[in-house]
Chain A
Amino acid sequence: MDGANIRKALSMMDERGSGEGAGYVAYGAFPEFAECYAIHVFFDTVHETKPAVDQELAKWGTIIHEEEIPTYEQQNLRKIHTPWRYFFLPDPHLMPRSTTPEDDIVMHLVMKVNTTIPGALIYSSGKNIALFKASGWPEEVADFYRIQDYKGYLWLGHNRYPTNTPGWWGGAHPFNLLHWSVVHNGEITSYGTNRRYIESYGYRCSMFTDTEVVAYLFDLLVRRHQLSPEIAVKALAPPFWDDIDRMPEKVARLNTAIRLTYGPALMNGPFAIVVARPDAIVGFTDRIKLRPLVTGTSGSKLYISSEEAAIRIMEPGVGDITMPRAGEPIIGRVVA
């Protein structure tokens, strides 16, 4: 799929934004560099800060290719950063004790650059993943990057109504860390708890927004703790104790264990979230569904959106629009 369709879908929901942030992510966008980590950086000024980032990357591996991300001037969109992408191969021998050395090197680089190099922000770092975001309306951002020129098998898009960090490109969704990308509608009232929890596992929150903890939590639970996405969602939006008390013993034991172990990962507050990784996509809402989420399928395609209208404009023939219950994960798997 190219990006033209999702641009149309988001433009149906301009009502939900304020023209101060939008973004898209495409999985499978760089087949020619599929094995490289596509590290996307916003530079405030290329000549001042890029050497520091180059140097940091060179310490940990090889830059196979790099380029300024092509952009096309839009009337209302002020280009305050220069978006850049590196195709990077980390050297696994440099992190000998890790079982996933490449991922850990790239994660380290993201945390290091974002917390120690002012004027540079790594906003995406996964293999074969292209991320496009800026401050503007969704159509403008799409045209700014010409996302119709990119093809992917899995797309996420987001239209932002910022209240906290308006106009800041880094604050637009989707958020990405390694293979994970997240779009989020809502506000996480447990952010302080979630952030302190995730930081004690070595993650550093640097985006000034609650959404990034979702990416980190999925990375921790699914990649590092090897839990399935279903179990991860049970940890983030668990059933209530009253419901657990009524479950059959074995299921109750599982849910109790999840809540005890991952209590600080529980996300509170209103949200609808879609998380993607190369082989799957997961959509879910908070435990009492304070934000909308609808899904639809057409053939082998799965659509997840805040509004039915956005799905219908992409797929007029969609047959089975459904509204998942609170906390119930909607999982799509990539079939090769």
Chain B
Amino acid sequence: MTQQDVSEVSVHINDTAVTVEQGTTLLQAARLAGVEIPTLCWAENLTPVNACRLCVVEQEGTRALIPSCSRLCEDGIRVETDSDRVRHSRRMILEFLASTNDLSQSAELQEWAESYQIDLDRYISPEKNNDEVKIEDDLFVRAYDRCVLCYKCVEACGDDAQHSFAIAIAGRGFDARVSTEYEVELPESACVYCGNCVGVCPTNALQFKVEFDLRESDEWRPEDQSTTETICSYCGVGCSLELHTQNNQIFKVTSPSDHSVTSGHLCIKGRFGWQYVHAPKYEPSKKS
């Protein structure tokens, strides 16, 4: 973009005037103004898909609530991010999700459920998603009873990151699920096990097998966990890794989504190839 293309627009967010570059979303402008808006399907390293509607805001003079993650700022508009209408809409979305899915492993959703005072008793015997956990390998599991169909994994597998297109949403309505083609098992699909889907999942529906096993055996101890940033040991790209450890054991690897080298995305070796760190030293490597 050359200098003369850049022009600025001013918007009012909760009565605060914010001036931003043209092309800025309402969500970005709100964050610049110090206003937090909850997001579920949005991520800074993915294209907005407007699936969850959690980030909706109320624009003065507009009938429908609008998604702030994708709507660009227009000069002069006034937006309310926490009006009764907005809060009511978000509360219902959170209630629908919580009535269907297991959200217990998403700290953010738990927090919002509380702050938006969701009330599941308003729903009489809601339909639950009781999908069984898919455990196909040692790398990651797919617990779709926690999946809220936010599309993040589909985007990361597709043209936002990996371009593998191994998964998409199949089925309609309540039966809609993330699926490989013809529901084949992952190794039979186009999956290259980069784990970029795991990296963007907001509900822990996709999680590392090590983490899954720790939770299953009741050894999950968030208070004993820490994260260390380092660099991948494999090729010369120099991907930044966040090693998540508990009691001296790596249980998850991520990459910062705002890092210039990775944008948060990794390959199978960087994401899962760390296990040799914990292999017994000074024995010939067991398997080839």
Is the A/B pair a real complex? no
